[in-house]
């Protein structure tokens, strides 16, 4: 099928000049906005909404000192970006990584707005992070960075205003420290338990939801399984797949997809790449990664180069590591027929154009990885209503949201004859536009 695409090479969008965007074509924020604005143009979104959505509502940058184990103090830089809250409180993860920059956090916050809207949960989009390398910090130092960062952004977040969650290099333990810090600082002590609701992805002992840890991977697979027939496959049974990143999203996606009968044959992470045409044992690989901190050295597969990894003949590739990993070069190497974006923004617009030209279908991040935020929403609802759902209820409700979002995307794709990424943005923008139509713009 010949499809139009919102991410086809176009002249610089006039909105970029109107808002003074940088001219650097590799800027992740400009790239993310370009796709959203392309979809907005196709559906005839009013200009006022384009400019509102092209910039975040608030960009918060903090610096905070932390006492290190050696007694010295180190100054850390942290961000919280609040993109849009037309549909509900800001929502999005916090990441700890040496490469955390304002533009990247802005991109991730924007993606959250569209993700929440696409799966129809009542949240807006936000994102944050601390520029640090947690692998070089002790557990105590990570705890002090987490608590001090939470204290630094305390006045900007809240249980019904902005609700952070885990992301790259942050986990349930870090959310527990932050929730505890927030609750300890909250003015009304009687609201202590309610203020813990400011963070999702908490351990189950303090209000975390069953099924949150696997939720993003579960959502990737729910979406894939729903879309496979529309993308030319009968079912997951017997499909070969590869994964980039074997952390939370990568390992859960792989293990759940394997349970549907698909065969993992290649994996790459920050330590190297491995391949085994006969199939990689997903559980054994996880045990290895937990001990060795990466896939390198796994005895159940052979090491391979990055190029060999991308060129592996698979049906599905699940990028589940960092942003911008599929650029033009990688897009030309890839042999998969479907890419399910477990990671946020793993494909650059230039990479996307190559994939489209080569007929490779992309299930975009705002659809494929929306399972995490959906179960975060379930956690928030359970905390708000003092209830605990069993895992079957969580899985069933998650599946309903993911399947509905996948169908919405297919409907938009058919209506506008577009690629899946643009279609997902259109299905999402449609909901946001309706909210603005009834709310209006103050004053």
Q: Give the residue with the Cβ less far from ligand NAD, 186 or 274.
A: 274
Judged by DSSP in three states, 178 sits in helix
Contact flag: residue 166 with ligand NAD (CB under 6 A): yes
Judged by DSSP in three states, 339 sits in strand
Stretch that binds ligand NAD, among 24-32, 34-42, 117-125, 162-170 (CB under 6 A): 162-170
Q: Give the residue with the Cβ less far from ligand NAD, 264 or 433.
A: 264
Contact flag: residue 248 with ligand NAD (CB under 6 A): yes
Contact flag: residue 269 with ligand NAD (CB under 6 A): yes
* Burial track 260-289 (b if 16+ CB lie within 10 A, e otherwise): eebbbbbbbbeebbbbbeeebebeebbebb
Contact at 8 Å (CB) between 60 and 156? Answer: yes
Contact flag: residue 101 with ligand NAD (CB under 6 A): no
Q: Supply the minimum distance, in Å, between the C-beta of residue 163 and ligand NAD.
A: 14
DSSP 8-state class, residue 129 = E
Q: Supply the minimum distance, in Å, between the C-beta of residue 244 and ligand NAD.
A: 6
* Burial track 322-351 (b if 16+ CB lie within 10 A, e otherwise): bbbbbbeebbebbebbbbbbbbbbbbbbbb
Contact flag: residue 137 with ligand NAD (CB under 6 A): no
Q: Supply the minimum distance, in Å, between the C-beta of residue 31 and ligand NAD.
A: 15
Alpha helices in 163-317 (DSSP H): 172-185, 192-195, 212-227, 248-259, 282-292, 306-311
Q: Supply the minimum distance, in Å, between the C-beta of residue 125 and ligand NAD.
A: 12
Contact flag: residue 247 with ligand NAD (CB under 6 A): yes
Q: What Rg, from alpha-carbon coordinates, does the chain have?
A: 21
Residue in the block written with tokens 């993606």: 111
Residue of this chain nearest to ligand NAD (CB atom) = 247
In terms of Cα–Cα distance, which of 416, 422, 317 is closest to 360? 317
Q: What is the Cα–Cα distance from 378 to 197, expressed in whole angstroms?
A: 11
Contact at 8 Å (CB) between 100 and 110? Answer: no
Angle between helices 420-439 and 102-118 (to 10 degrees): 80
Chain residues 398-417 in contact with ligand NAD, contact rule CB under 6 A: none
Contact flag: residue 121 with ligand NAD (CB under 6 A): no
Chain residues 35-74 in contact with ligand NAD, contact rule CB under 6 A: none
| Binding test (CB under 6 A) with ligand NAD, winner from 128, 250, 349, 364 | 250
Q: Supply the minimum distance, in Å, between the C-beta of residue 366 and ligand NAD.
A: 10
| Binding test (CB under 6 A) with ligand NAD, winner from 81, 172, 249, 410 | 249
Q: Supply the minimum distance, in Å, between the C-beta of residue 441 and ligand NAD.
A: 30
Q: Supply the minimum distance, in Å, between the C-beta of residue 193 and ligand NAD.
A: 24
Stretch that binds ligand NAD, among 164-172, 176-184, 224-232, 409-417 (CB under 6 A): 164-172
Q: Supply the minimum distance, in Å, between the C-beta of residue 5 and ligand NAD.
A: 23
Contact flag: residue 245 with ligand NAD (CB under 6 A): yes
Q: What is the Cα–Cα distance from 285 to 246, expressed in whole angstroms?
A: 9
Q: Number of residues interacting with ligand NAD: please give it, by CB under 6 A.
A: 24
| Binding test (CB under 6 A) with ligand NAD, winner from 29, 149, 246, 425 | 246
Q: Supply the minimum distance, in Å, between the C-beta of residue 326 and ligand NAD.
A: 11
Environment class of 120 (CB within 10 Å of its CB; exposed 0-12, middle 13-18, buried 19+): middle
State both tokens at 171.
């986990």
Contact flag: residue 168 with ligand NAD (CB under 6 A): yes
Chain residues 294-353 in contact with ligand NAD, contact rule CB under 6 A: 294, 320-322, 342-344
In terms of Cα–Cα distance, which of 42, 43, 17, 41 is closest to 30? 17
Stretch that binds ligand NAD, among 13-21, 136-144, 227-235, 238-246 (CB under 6 A): 238-246
Q: Give the residue with the Cβ less far from ligand NAD, 6 or 119.
A: 119
Contact flag: residue 377 with ligand NAD (CB under 6 A): no
Contact flag: residue 242 with ligand NAD (CB under 6 A): no
Q: What is the Cα–Cα distance from 169 to 166, expressed in whole angstroms?
A: 8
Round to the nearest angstrom and report the end-to-end CA distance of the chain. 46
Stretch that binds ligand NAD, among 12-20, 148-156, 263-271, 415-423 (CB under 6 A): 263-271
Stretch that binds ligand NAD, among 3-11, 42-50, 167-175, 411-419 (CB under 6 A): 167-175
Contact at 8 Å (CB) between 341 and 319? Answer: yes
Positions annotated as catalytic residues are 127
What count of Cα atoms within 13 Å lies in the side-chain half-sphere of residue 399? 10
Cα pseudo-dihedral 132, 134, 140, 143, rounded to 10: 60
Contact flag: residue 275 with ligand NAD (CB under 6 A): no
Which residues contact ligand NAD (rule: CB under 6 A)?
166-169, 216, 244-250, 268-270, 294, 320-322, 342-344, 369, 372
């Amino acid at each position: 099928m010949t499809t139009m695409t919102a991410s086809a090479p176009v002249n610089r969008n006039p909105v970029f000049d109107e808002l003074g965007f940088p001219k650097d074509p590799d800027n992740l924020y400009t790239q993310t906005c370009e796709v959203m604005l392309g979809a907005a143009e196709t559906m005839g979104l009013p200009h006022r909404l384009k400019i509102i959505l092209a910039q975040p509502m608030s960009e918060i940058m903090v610096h905070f000192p932390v006492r290190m184990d050696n007694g010295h103090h180190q100054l850390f830089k942290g961000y919280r970006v609040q993109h849009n809250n037309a549909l509900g409180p800001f929502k999005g993860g916090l990441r700890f990584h040496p490469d955390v920059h304002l533009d990247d956090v802005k991109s991730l916050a924007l993606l959250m707005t569209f993700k929440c809207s696409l799966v129809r949960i009542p949240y807006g989009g936000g994102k944050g992070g601390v520029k640090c390398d947690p692998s070089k910090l002790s557990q105590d130092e990570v705890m002090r960075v987490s608590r001090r960062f939470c204290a630094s952004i305390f006045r900007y977040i809240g249980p019904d205003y902005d609700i952070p969650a885990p992301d790259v290099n942050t986990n349930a333990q870090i959310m527990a420290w932050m929730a505890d810090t927030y609750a300890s600082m909250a003015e009304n002590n009687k609201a202590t338990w309610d203020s813990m609701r400011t963070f999702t992805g908490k351990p189950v002992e303090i209000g975390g939801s069953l099924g949150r840890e696997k939720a993003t991977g579960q959502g990737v697979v729910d979406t894939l399984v729903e879309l496979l027939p529309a993308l030319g496959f009968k079912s997951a049974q017997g499909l070969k797949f590869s994964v980039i990143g074997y952390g939370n999203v990568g390992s859960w996606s792989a293990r759940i997809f394997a349970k549907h009968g698909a065969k993992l044959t290649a994996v790459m992470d920050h330590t190297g790449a491995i391949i085994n045409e006969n199939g990689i044992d997903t559980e054994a690989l996880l045990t290895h990664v937990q001990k060795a901190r990466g896939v390198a050295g796994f005895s159940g597969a052979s090491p391979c180069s990055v190029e060999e990894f991308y060129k592996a003949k698979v049906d599905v590739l699940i990028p589940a590591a960092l942003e911008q990993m599929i650029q033009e070069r990688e897009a030309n190497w890839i042999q998969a027929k479907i890419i399910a974006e477990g990671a946020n923004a793993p494909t650059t617009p230039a990479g996307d154009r190559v994939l489209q030209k080569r007929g490779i279908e992309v299930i975009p991040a705002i659809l494929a990885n929306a399972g995490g935020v959906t179960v975060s929403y379930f956690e928030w609802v359970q905390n708000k209503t003092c209830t605990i759902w069993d895992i079957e209820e969580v899985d069933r409700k998650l599946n309903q949201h993911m399947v509905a979002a996948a169908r919405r995307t297919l409907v938009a794709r058919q209506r506008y004859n577009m690629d899946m990424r643009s279609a997902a943005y259109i299905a999402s923008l449609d909901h946001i536009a309706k909210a603005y139509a009834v709310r209006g713009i103050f004053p």
